[in-house]
């Protein structure tokens, strides 16, 4: 199989001038600035996790809204901005996304007012569209021999940023005020924005059209009703009527959304395309992958930072806890270009299944090995390697089964499904860890508590099962020898 599998159907007939606009060196610069933008967007999604304790001391229980506001806006913005990219230009909307990370981060860097912090974080949520937009833009601009590795690298940034964000936040927390984190995002976001503005041309694959405002409204309401209770379940409690009312409302609104879209001439989401078996299986696998990856974040740093009195923790600092994930992020970077070659040789479905299987094996290692810090680092690195391979293969499957005028929207939806997996990891993982707690007793007084080793192992088992399920799902996708077969 050739690397053309990463291209959208009909790309072979594209005007050669679209891909001959630049030399190989210029193409590398374009990849660098788009990749930098994807990295800073991914960093922004995880960088607050290690400093939540400090923020809770300052702002109390409402601190979770600094994460929830970002996720809610991201869930709505990613598919909508992907569709707008297909209609009006992927580069234009990518610049909007990079502008959002820069402006939102600047607001948070300059203030300690909680309301303004939430506003800044919400604006940053819109930047999540930068990754699917970057994937789609480079898929149409890069020289053919660079498409596979470029798409793989940008896709892997979803995981790389998270793995690098935790040690960065730990380092900042131990040496400076948490506002420094937002200054870093502001500066890097501005550099990426200026780089894309000056170095990256617009794709010629955009077809204009009418914005589906009704569809955008219904989808926004449905996704907010779905994401909000999952994010707040830990504080509201699964027995809260609010959780179940919102989940039922989400189902009803999303069903209405689907019925409206099927009757709309220019829908926000092409449900007919979304029903294609390769797309369905890839998106379901993406939920499983997103679950397994985010659980690695919440199940690694907190694990090694737990006190030695728990019987498993190492009492590590925030910095050491974050650094345990650094090899995982580096493994994602190393294995994403390797995945591009595997896609060319074996096809995207088998490559994605391989990545998911490696992730599952890594989680089995986490279940069995926890006595030494190096064992946890090795197992987490294995998970990172599998994630790098799997994340690289996802957009290849999406692009190979999507018309060229819809690839930004399709990649946006795939990113949404990955994010949904992360949200489920937060909701389910938090519930599992809270279900079995070991108490810290000093002089006969309970002074605290941490999840038990058994609770962590159950979380790891669930992650392993999700990973192997992802592998089984994508192996049902038929092998295609070229992109045109995906029509």
pTM over 0.85: no
Contacts of 183 (CB under 8 A, 6+ apart): 105, 109
What pLDDT was estimated at residue 7?
41
pLDDT digits (tens, 9 = 90+) for 135-172: 888 878 777 777 777 777 787 777 777 777 777 777 77
Reading the block at residue 25, the tokens are 């060196």
Q: Which residue has the higher pLDDT, 83 or 107?
A: 107
Is the pLDDT at 339 greater than 90? The verdict is: no
Reading the block at residue 128, the tokens are 């999540």
What pLDDT was estimated at residue 468?
92
474-477 contact pairs (CB < 8 A, 24+)? 474/281, 474/282, 474/285, 474/349, 474/352, 474/353, 474/356, 474/397, 475/349, 475/350, 475/353, 476/277, 476/281, 477/277, 477/278, 477/281, 477/282, 477/349, 477/397
Domain segments of the chain as ranges = 3-211+268-486, 212-267
Is the pLDDT at 132 greater than 80? The verdict is: yes
pLDDT digits (tens, 9 = 90+) for 431-464: 787 777 777 666 666 656 778 888 888 888 988 9
Contact, 158 vs 418, CB < 8 A? Answer: yes
pLDDT digits (tens, 9 = 90+) for 272-297: 767 778 888 888 888 888 888 777 77
Contacts of 27 (CB under 8 A, 6+ apart): 141, 142, 143, 146
Fold of 3-211+268-486: Growth Hormone; Chain: A; (1.20.1250)
């Amino acid at each position: 199989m050739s690397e053309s599998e990463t291209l959208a159907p009909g790309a072979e007939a594209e005007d050669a001038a679209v891909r001959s606009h630049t030399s190989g060196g210029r193409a590398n610069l374009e990849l660098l600035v788009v990749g930098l933008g994807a990295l800073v967007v991914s960093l922004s999604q995880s960088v607050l996790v290690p400093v939540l304790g400090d923020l809770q001391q300052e702002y109390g229980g409402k601190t979770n809204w600094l994460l929830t506001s970002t996720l809610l806006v991201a869930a709505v913005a990613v598919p909508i901005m992907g569709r707008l990219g297909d209609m009006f230009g992927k580069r234009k909307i990518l610049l909007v996304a990079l502008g959002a990370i820069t402006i939102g981060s600047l607001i948070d860097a300059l203030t300690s007012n909680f309301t303004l912090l939430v506003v800044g974080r919400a604006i940053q949520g819109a930047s999540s569209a930068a990754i699917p937009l970057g994937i789609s833009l480079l898929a149409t601009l890069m020289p053919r021999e660079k498409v596979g590795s470029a798409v793989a690298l940008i896709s892997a940034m979803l995981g790389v940023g998270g793995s690098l964000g935790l040690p960065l936040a730990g380092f900042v927390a131990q040496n400076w005020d948490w506002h420094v984190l937002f200054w870093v995002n502001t500066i890097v976001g501005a550099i990426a924005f200026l780089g894309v503005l000056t170095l990256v041309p617009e794709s010629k694959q955009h077809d204009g059209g009418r914005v589906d405002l009704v569809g955008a409204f219904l989808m926004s309401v449905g996704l907010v009703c779905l994401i909000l209770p999952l994010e707040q379940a830990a504080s509201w409690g699964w027995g809260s009527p609010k959780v179940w009312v919102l989940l039922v409302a989400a189902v009803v609104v999303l069903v209405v959304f689907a019925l409206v879209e099927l009757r709309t001439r220019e829908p926000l989401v092409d449900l007919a395309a979304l029903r294609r078996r390769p797309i369905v299986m890839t998106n379901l696998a993406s939920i499983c992958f997103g679950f397994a990856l985010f659980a690695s974040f919440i199940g690694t740093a907190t694990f090694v930072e737990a006190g030695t009195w728990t019987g498993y923790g190492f009492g590590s600092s925030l910095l050491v806890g974050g650094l345990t994930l650094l090899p995982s992020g580096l493994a994602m970077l190393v294995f994403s270009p390797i995945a591009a070659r595997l896609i060319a040789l074996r096809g995207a479905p088998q490559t994605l299944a391989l990545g998911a299987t490696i992730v599952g094996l890594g989680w089995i290692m986490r279940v069995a090995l926890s006595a030494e810090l190096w064992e946890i680092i090795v197992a987490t690195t294995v998970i990172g390697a599998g994630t790098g391979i799997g994340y690289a293969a996802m957009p290849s499957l999406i692009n190979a089964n999507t018309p060229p005028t819809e690839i930004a929207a399709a990649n946006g939806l795939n990113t949404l499904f990955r994010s949904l997996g992360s949200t489920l990891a937060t909701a389910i993982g938090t519930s599992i860890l809270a279900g079995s707690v070991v108490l810290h007793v000093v002089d006969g007084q309970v002074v605290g508590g941490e999840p038990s080793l058994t609770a962590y192992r159950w979380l790891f088992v669930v992650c392993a099962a999700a990973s192997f399920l992802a592998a089984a799902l994508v192996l049902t996708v038929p092998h295609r020898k070229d992109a045109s077969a995906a029509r």
